[in-house]
């Protein structure tokens, strides 16, 4: 069996920065509330009228990751694209990447696991590499949230949190079984699907029905029971981190870098305290990007790597929790 290691990383966010102050001009919110509850100061939102989408941002991030891996697009054997905000209801964004990057007619798979999307995507890619089926897999997480948010006071509990952006990595075969992904752990609990959901349009509740419904039909905006999600997040994050540590027979001290999904800085801080991790063991960047869902971990990992915070042989732990509920972790030796 082979192992898979990350051989290249890249990220892309739209230029347009939206500060908390900007949001306070369009809804009843404040910089103080947002920073205190979430740690977010600003996020990047695609400008209205721009042609950017989840697929185009994913393509930009992917080009950087492929180049940094020292590979050519023709070396990529498979594409995995994680998003909750695809350009189309179908087909998925993966095939758009194949076209946009003018790649060979390789397979393309979309992953619909929201905030855990990148962890699920990495784990899926790892299985293809372990079995020897593929050598180099392009894994992308990308989200275009801003066009789907309720940017009025009514939607402030959700809309202030989310940001647009994309990250990508190339997962490559290695014969060194001490390196790369050491384990991944995936979970779900569908009974809480309605706690964080965009219900429509769906086959159950299609466009004509929405158009004919009364104005109070808000099913096409994201709904989140924030407090309930928060409480579950801290429990599940802890469990799945414990699982990774115990399977690999290591303790919190052995972690060189922990990158949690950037859902809320308060969740990350809670986990950091629980596992008694030092500040230099944890990387957060939600302050500048908001919650970019499937893109958040790979954007943070890329940024940490660019800053020299990920070094050869480092133990890196990634963990995520989100809508579904789904949660998971990946432990790597760099
Ligand atoms: O990434 C996927 C997973 N997602 C998460 O993990 C998110 C988990 N949840 C959270 O991060 C937090 O629950 C939120 C940041 C979303 C909300 O924070 P909270 O401390 O749970 O606030 P809350 O929803 O209980 O609202 C408290 C008050 C309410 O007012 P009243 O009823 O106390 O008068 C809200 O209406 O804050 C109000 N509020 C706001 N005020 C100003 C809600 N959103 C805002 C806002 N600005 N943006």
Express each pLDDT in 15-33 by its tens digit.
999 999 999 999 999 999 9
Strands 3-12, 223-224: parallel, antiparallel or unpaired by DSSP? unpaired
- Residue 261 bears catalytic tag: yes
The first and second tokens of residue 68, run together, are 């940094």
C-beta 329 within 6 A of ligand 1: no
Q: Which residues lie below 8 Å from residue 275, measured CB to CB, with a gap of 6+?
A: 238, 241, 252, 255, 258
CB 146 within 8 A of CB 158: no
- Residue 291 bears catalytic tag: yes
Confidence category of residue 106, pLDDT binned at 50, 70, 90: very high
- The vertex-297 CA angle with 193 and 223, nearest 5°, equals 30
Neighbours of 94 (CB within 10 A): 24
**Identified catalytic residue from 3, 44, 115, 232:** 115
Average pLDDT over residues 37-56: 97
Grouping H, G, I as helix, E, B as strand and the rest as coil, residue 78 is: strand
Centre of ligand 1 to C-alpha 235, Å, is: 19
Centre of ligand 1 to C-alpha 157, Å, is: 5
C-beta 98 within 6 A of ligand 1: no
Contacts within 8 Å (CB) and 24+ apart, 128-132:
128/78, 129/2, 129/3, 129/4, 129/171, 129/172, 129/173, 130/1, 130/2, 130/3, 130/4, 131/1, 132/1, 132/2, 132/173
pTM tops 0.95, yes or no: yes
- C-alpha dist (Å) from residue 162 to 1, 98, 256, 269, 298: 39, 27, 28, 19, 16
Q: With 80 as the cut, is the pLDDT of residue 265 above it? A: yes
Express each pLDDT in 141-182 by its tens digit.
999 999 999 999 999 999 999 999 999 999 999 999 899 999
Q: With 80 as the cut, is the pLDDT of residue 215 above it? A: no
Atom in ligand 1 nearest the alpha carbon of residue 160: 48
Average pLDDT over residues 232-257: 98
Atom in ligand 1 nearest the alpha carbon of residue 229: 8
Strands 107-111, 136-143: parallel, antiparallel or unpaired by DSSP? unpaired
Express each pLDDT in 59-99 by its tens digit.
999 999 999 999 999 999 999 999 999 999 999 999 999 99
**Identified catalytic residue from 261, 264, 284, 285:** 261
The first and second tokens of residue 256, run together, are 């060189």
């Amino acid at each position: 069996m082979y192992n898979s290691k990350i051989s290249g990383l890249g990220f892309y966010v739209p230029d347009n920065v939206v500060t908390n102050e900007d949001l306070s001009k369009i809804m009843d919110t404040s910089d103080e509330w947002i920073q205190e509850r979430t740690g977010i100061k600003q996020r990047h939102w695609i400008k209205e009228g721009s042609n950017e989408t989840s697929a185009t941002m994913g393509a930009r991030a992917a080009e950087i990751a492929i180049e940094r891996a020292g590979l050519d697009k023709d070396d990529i054997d498979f594409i995995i694209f994680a998003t909750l905000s695809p350009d189309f209801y179908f087909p998925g964004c993966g095939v758009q990447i194949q076209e946009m990057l003018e790649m060979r007619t390789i397979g393309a798979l979309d992953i619909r696991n929201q905030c855990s999307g990148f962890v699920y995507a990495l784990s899926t890619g790892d299985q293809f590499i372990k079995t020897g089926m593929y050598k180099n897999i392009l894994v992308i997480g990308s989200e275009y949230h801003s066009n789907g948010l309720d940017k009025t006071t009514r939607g402030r509990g959700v809309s202030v949190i989310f940001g647009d952006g994309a990250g990508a990595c190339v997962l490559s075969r290695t014969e060194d079984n001490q390196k790369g992904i050491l384990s991944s752990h995936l979970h779900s609990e569908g009974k809480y699907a309605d706690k964080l959901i965009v219900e429509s349009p769906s086959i159950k509740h299609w466009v004509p029905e929405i158009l004919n419904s009364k104005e109070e039909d808000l099913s096409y905006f994201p709904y989140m029971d924030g407090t309930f999600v928060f409480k579950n997040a801290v429990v599940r994050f802890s469990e799945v981190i414990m699982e990774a540590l115990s399977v690999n027979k290591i303790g919190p001290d052995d972690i060189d870098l922990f990158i949690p999904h950037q859902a809320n800085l308060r969740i990350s801080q809670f986990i950091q305290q629980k596992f008694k991790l030092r500040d230099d063991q944890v990387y957060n960047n939600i302050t500048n990007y908001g919650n970019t869902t499937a893109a958040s971990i790979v954007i943070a990992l890329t940024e940490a790597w660019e800053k020299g915070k990920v070094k050869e042989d480092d133990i890196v732990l990634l963990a995520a929790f989100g809508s579904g509920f789904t949660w998971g972790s990946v432990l790597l030796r760099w």
